[in-house]
Amino acid sequence: MWYSNDMKKKSLILATIIVIIDAILKIFIDNILSINESIQIIPNVFYITKVYNTGAAWSIFEGSQIVLIIIAIVAFFFLLKYQNAFRKNKRNTLAFALVYGGLVGNLIDRVIYGYVIDYLHVYIINYSFPIFNIADIAIVVGFLLIIIAIIKGEEHDSSK
């Protein structure tokens, strides 16, 4: 049991670092760019473009901040409980840290501003991918790592 709490503690510490990095980048972007303003990093591929997103990915649930806040809080506490079922290893610690950090990073924006500050703008073969942020990357990578753990059967930790 102590190891389970140790894994969770490490995940929450890493998540806090992710939240801080995410917040610093969002504040920086919010202060240097006007809404919809872009800075070209790699022509036709990568830009920093400031937008305010009142929805989730691909603007689903646009304007439904209360719903998105509730979903984030429920997901956070569900994952916090669910983490105990996973094998205790570095990948799983990182996976949950990434998801926690991403959820909280975007949750803070939603609660304080009523929207999420997005700024990473990628074009893939002339397709303008929806603009996202570091918190979004953390959530996606974290969930991919959790899916890998589930595929490997690590969500039923037999070492307890």
Residue 158 domain flag: no
* pLDDT tens track, the chain, 160 positions: 334 578 889 999 999 999 999 999 999 999 999 999 999 999 999 999 999 998 777 666 677 788 889 999 999 999 998 898 898 899 999 999 999 999 999 999 999 999 999 999 999 988 999 999 999 999 999 999 999 999 998 887 655 4
Domain enclosing residue 8, as ranges: 2-151
Q: Which residues of 51-90 are buried (b: 16+ CB within 10 A; e: fewer)?
A: bebbbbeeeeeeeebeebeeebeebbeebeeebeebbbee
DSSP 59: G
In the chain, the number of structural domains is: 1
Whether residue 30 lies in the annotated active site: no
Residue 64 domain flag: yes
The strands making up 46-53's β-sheet, listed across from edge to edge, are 38-42, 46-53, 116-124, 127-128
Q: Of 22, 30, 109, 118, which is the active-site residue?
A: 118
Q: Of 6, 30, 109, 136, which is the active-site residue?
A: 136
Residue 157 domain flag: no
Residue 93 domain flag: yes
Whether residue 22 lies in the annotated active site: no
